[in-house]
Structure 1
Amino acid sequence: MNWTQAKTDFSTYLKIERGLSDNTINSYLLDVEKLIVFLKENNNTESPVHISKETIKEFVYQTAKQLNARSQSRLISGLKGFFNYLVFENYRDNNPIDHIEAPKIGRKIPDTLSLNDINKLIAAIDLSHPQGTRNKAILETLYGCGLRVSELINLKISDLFFNEGFIKVTGKGDKQRFVPIMEHTQKYIDIYKNEIRNHLNIDPEHSDILFLNRRGKQLTRAMIFTIIKNLAKTINLQKTISPHTFRHSFATHLLENGADLRAIQLMLGHESITTTEIYTHIDRSQLTEVINNFHPRK
């Protein structure tokens, strides 16, 4: 088995057997590609079946010099997944990276916005601009439903079940879930649909996609990032934010107001409750701030 075949088979396994998203699969393949480039640069002809622990160790050592701890950990994890696959398929009898430890990294607490900041960002949208009404509906949906940016741009009109109070969301690995949607958010989506979207010259291929650009085609992830970046600049927000910041804020604000962690997990589409538990760390940090500010013996 050569490296090209190994990458192709691994990609198929991740998509069919693991049900991972294209972005996640590409991340795994990029880790393998870095190893392949290293081998070529060093005139090493070892195959994925026969590559030694010593070669892997040298690769990790050389590559780690150029990466931070989190990226190193990501690389080692990706390669472990690749070689575990080869072991699983009986191409190898051991994983050459098993004894290489990833650097210890703390759990990164995501950035969030206050409700006041979110209101300022939405209020900064120029509704006189042709795309203003759409952008307001986008931000209301991002924050109101806690969506990933990929879930937002792929949201379909046929996914809207407003009478029942839900939208159907297709998340990572094409897994679907139903997320509650408030009447407040529904209102701005309806305004956009009726006053803006219905008057576009819509591309037939994107006829069911909810949020469209001015040419009637599906929006890109990059466009959502640009919209948010420009709004942050407009209100002089001293924080680097992205579409995911609205998702983090959605979960954090629900938790602060007493929502059940399991319910938040279901709405976010997290496979494991441990992923959702990151938001309890944010909540605890705010408790520390409260005691530091208000305890009588401070």
Structure 2
Amino acid sequence: MWQHEIIDTYTQELELFSIWMKNKGMTAATQRAYLSDTQHFLHMVHPKALDQVGKLDMVRFMSACREKGAGDEARNRKLSSLRSFYKALIELEALSVNPAALIAKSKQEKGRIPVYLEEDELEQLVSAVGGKYYERNLAIMLLMCYAGLRVGEVHRLNLQHFHSDGSLHILGKGRKWRVVPLPAPLQEVLRRALEARKAPGQLKEQAMFVSQFGRRLSIRMIQTVADETIELLKERLPELEGKKISSHKLRHSFATLQIRSGTDIRTLQELMGHASIATTQIYTHIDNKQLQNAMNNIAGKMKIGSRKA
């Protein structure tokens, strides 16, 4: 495979990048994504030495990504990976120029309404939870639907992160912690899930959610729990069949529910764990139902008489 050739050619640079990312405290998932993007770029410029790679090579790579169907968001993620790659090599004195820094990010579409579930659809989703490990799966789904947790955040939860006051301490993106006070019903479900928790195979295992073997539940398995429950929901509600609903869309649903309940954007930013309030602002969308309600509010104020003959 071409990956082996790339690793052989750029062994030192990729090792330095890995060391740099670990030192920065990046999550394993981020490290894998950044390395994958970087290797695809190196595959395009191979066998050039990195000090011979310039802005034109970057432009060619980004253009090729677009031709392969990558949207603006995906291309910006790849550019961020390459900027980090070169930044690492410069900081570790392996290079002196960052050609990725010369490329502007793509302007992303604004005003696009995120995919989310309505309140009654969320209720039906939760009622569709089943399986042998019902209490565990229910707690996982509720944390995503009604606390806004990402899959990776659910995966990283440890027993000590659930405090006696009912709050959950969450390790989010960028290794930043946030505190989410859980509503009483969610606290109760989580306590039941912990009571039903399978004894870990290793006594040192502190994961909140474990597999049938007593090991930390994998990200893939958490996604499977969500995906299978979503499929059951679509069987109940055929109108959702064409709607792209994933575990991350449950986070969108939580944010939309908060906004509709009157939560201010600054508070929502804290609950979501967003570094920038600009990220949170995508959830302040106005949907068709709200637009219709606004127009109905003035319907009674319209004094329109019939035309006289």
TM-score normalised per structure 1: 0.82
Change (3 A) 1:289 1:89: farther
Change (3 A) 1:189 1:294: same
Specify the code of the residue in structure 2 equivalent to 1:47.
A
Which residue in the other structure is 1:34 paired with? 40
Identity over the aligned pairs, expressed in percent? Answer: 27
Which residue in the other structure is 2:232 paired with? 234
1:145-160 matches, cutoff 5 A: 145-160=147-162
Aligned pair partner of 2:52 in 50, 53, 61: 50
1:258 and 2:262 aligned:
yes
Unpaired runs of 5+ residues, structure 1, are none
Distance 2:107 2:174 in 1: 28
Distance 1:285 1:83 in 2: 45
Distance 1:84 1:295 in 2: 56
Distance 1:137 1:80 in 2: 38
Q: CA RMSD in A?
A: 2.7
Distance 2:295 2:18 in 1: 50
1:189 and 2:190 aligned:
yes
For residues 201-248 of structure 1, the C-alpha deviation after alignment (integer angstroms, 9 at most, x for no partner) is 421256422222223222222222222222222232413322222222
Cα pair 1:124 1:235 within 8 Å, conserved: yes
Shift of 1:291: 3.6
Unpaired runs of 5+ residues, structure 2, are 1-8, 303-309
Shift of 1:102: 4.2
1:158-173 matches, cutoff 5 A: 158-162=160-164, 164-173=165-174
Aligned to 2:84, what secondary structure does the other structure show?
A: helix
Specify the code of the residue in structure 2 equivalent to 1:21.
T
Distance 1:193 1:89 in 2: 45
Cα pair 2:153 2:171 within 8 Å, conserved: yes
TM-score normalised per structure 2: 0.80
Which residue in the other structure is 2:306 paired with? none
Cα pair 2:55 2:100 within 8 Å, conserved: yes
1:5 and 2:3 aligned:
no
Specify the code of the residue in structure 1 equivalent to 2:182.
I
Which residue in the other structure is 1:174 paired with? 175
Distance 1:206 1:97 in 2: 43
- Single out whichever of 82-91 and 2-11 deviates more from structure 2: 82-91
Distance 1:89 1:217 in 2: 37
